[in-house]
Amino acid sequence: MSKFAALLPPTFARTIESWLAEDIPSFDYGGFVVGDDEKVATLYCKSPGVLAGVPFFNEVFRQTGCVVTWSFEEGVDIFPQNGKVVVAEVRGSARRILMGERVALNILARCSGIASRARRLRETADRMSFLGVVAGTRKTTPGFRLVEKYGMEVGGADTHRMDLSTMVMLKDNHIWATGSITNAVNAAKDVAGFSIKIEVECQSEAEAYEAIDAGADIVMLDNFTPEAMKTAAVNVKAKGMAAGRNILVEASGGITEETAEQYMLPGIDIISFGTMTQSVPHVDFSLKIAH
């Protein structure tokens, strides 16, 4: 069992059940063709990446009545030699192996792709001696968030907030709807209480200062150039210290794997990447039944 599996809620099995039901809403015509002879299928990895999504893959085949045996630990980097490497074996009837094949591969490919990007970003931070947090965002696929956030964890990145109930993040629309940063923060403090942090998205240093004065815990400097970010981050941290508070500064907005190191600057506590889940190349896996 992967050490990361402990992160998952017990309800994730129901999610897998719904995905299998989506794929077989009535009859499995191809399953009828292959029958119930016992078979062994080999899982190959055909492109380099971090292996992630093992508990989901296991649960798919548990529900179809198959058994998975892994050759690698989850979280390791896999480098296929001669085009492919054996990652696992799946044992069960031919019909039941194929029943779970596509759902399992879709999960594993995307989860591993996200983990791979997260790992590369974390390695860039380490190389740059950046001590802050490398995080994802809530820009996830509806219905697939748990898998995508799990991939971030396996890759070594922070998941950021899991959902709207995790932290108060006041973005531009919240501010425009309430009239000001101060109004939005005050309303958030009234409802969130002492236990939930409040973050404010800011487009300028002046907005960041207003957020600090209003009582925000985290200031997001959004869509700043690296040059502007370098100055603003230091100034915002100093403003917070002058107020006797340790304000966290998050850099966000259009930061990619290619530009990440330009934002790994003094004064930055968190860098968040929407690209950790958007337009991520999948790791290439295939499942082949022995013949």
Neighbours of 137 (CB within 10 A): 18
Burial pattern 63-78, b for ≥16 Cβ within 10 A else e, equals bbebebebeeebbeeb
Q: Following DSSP, what letter does each residue of 126-195 receive, concatenated?
A: HHTT--SEEE--S---TT-HHHHHHHHHHHT-B---SSTTT-EEE-HHHHHHHSSHHHHHHHHHHHH-SS
CA distance 270 to 264: 9
- Asked if 46 is an active-site residue, the reply is no
Instruction: List residues bridging with 180 in a β-sheet.
Output: none
What angle, 0 to 180 degrees and rounded to 10, lies between the N-to-C axes of helices 145-155 and 94-127? 50
CA distance 194 to 189: 8
CA distance 59 to 65: 10
Which among 9, 119, 116 is positioned nearest to 59, based on CA atoms? 9
At 229, is the secondary structure helix, strand, or coil? helix
Which ranges constitute the DSSP H helices of 35-131? 54-63, 94-127
Q: Which of 84, 139, 189, 230 is catalytic?
A: 139
Q: Are the CB atoms for 119 and 106 separated by under 8 Å?
A: no
Instruction: List residues bridging with 21 in a β-sheet.
Output: none
Instruction: List residues bridging with 1 in a β-sheet.
Output: none
Strand blocks (E) in 213-267: 218-222, 248-252
Catalytic positions: 139
